[in-house]
Structure formats: C-alpha cells, structure tokens
C-alpha cells in the first residue's frame, strides 16, 4: 500500500521564523495528500489538502504543494507563531481501493518559542 515518510522532530523555532516540515510519499497513482494538526489536548484536525499533482493546499498561513516529480508534500509557513505549537501529520490514502483508510506519518512536534 501507499506510505508516507515524515521529517523527524522535534522542531523548535523562534516566533516569526520560517518553517518547513518535510513529507515524502510512495504511492500508486496520484492520491490526495493531507496535512493534519494536533494541538495539545485536542483531536487531530485537517490543516490542508491537495487532490492532484501541482495543487497547492493552504490554510492559516500554511502551504504545501503536491509535487509528483519529487513525490513530496512539504509543509511551509513563512512566519510561525507560538500558537502554531502542535504535532503535524502528513497523510494519504492507504491504497486507491481504500481511499477512506488514511495512513499517517509519525508526526513532527513543533514548538515555537516567544
């Protein structure tokens, strides 16, 4: 089935720093790609998604571009805030026949210091 490899953490940045969290995938075809975020004490929530190659997903200042040439979906933000401290998960469907079974990366813990 499909799989995703995510940049290991933890990542610690100062406020207003630039953020990149790497995510590469192995997949049959071109499945949708997702970034989920888990804030402390809360459930996972969808941050952004891209449904086809070259699409750019964006939300709350975060962006990720679906790049089939490099099989990547890196998460970026130009200026992080303390409130962005959370765990970030890259995800995609396990297989084309099981689009509802998402497989997740191991997560990257981000801490933003004031």
Partner 1 sequence: DTGVSQDPRHKITKRGQNVTFRCDPISEHNRLYWYRQTLGQGPEFLTYFQNEAQLEKSRLLSDRFSAERPKGSFSTLEIQRTEQGDSAMYLCASSVLGTDNSPLHFGNGTRLTVT
Question: Mask: binding to partner 1, 2-21, rule CB under 8 A, as x and -?
Answer: ----x---------------
| Min dist. Cβ of residue 104 to partner 1 (A) | 3
Check binding of 29 to partner 1 (CB under 8 A). Answer: no
Show the CA angle centred on residue 28, arms to residues 34 and 38, nearest 5°.
20
Nearer of residues 17 and 44 to partner 1, judged by Cβ: 44
Check binding of 40 to partner 1 (CB under 8 A). Answer: no
Interface residues for partner 1 in 74-93 (CB under 8 A)? 89, 91, 93
Taking residue 85's Cβ as centre, other Cβ atoms within 10 Å add up to: 16
In this structure, are residues 34 and 64 in contact, taking their beta carbons and an 8 Å threshold? no
Torsions phi, psi for 82 (to 5 deg): -55, -35
Tokens 């804030």 belong to residue: 39
* Residues forming a β-bridge with 51: none
Contacts with partner 1 by CB under 8 A lie at: 6, 32, 34, 36, 41-46, 49, 51, 89, 91, 93-94, 98-107
């Amino acid at each position: 089935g499909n799989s995703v490899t995510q940049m290991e953490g933890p990542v610690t940045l100062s406020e207003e720093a630039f953020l990149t969290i790497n995510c590469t995938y192995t997949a049959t075809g071109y499945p949708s790609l997702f970034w989920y975020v888990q804030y402390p004490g809360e459930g996972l929530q969808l941050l952004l998604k891209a449904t086809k190659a070259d699409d750019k997903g964006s939300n709350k200042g975060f962006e990720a571009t679906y790049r089939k040439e490099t099989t990547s979906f890196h998460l970026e933000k130009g200026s992080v805030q303390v409130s962005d401290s959370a765990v970030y998960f890259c995800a995609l469907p396990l297989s084309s026949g099981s689009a509802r079974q998402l497989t997740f990366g191991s997560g990257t813990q981000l801490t933003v210091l004031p």
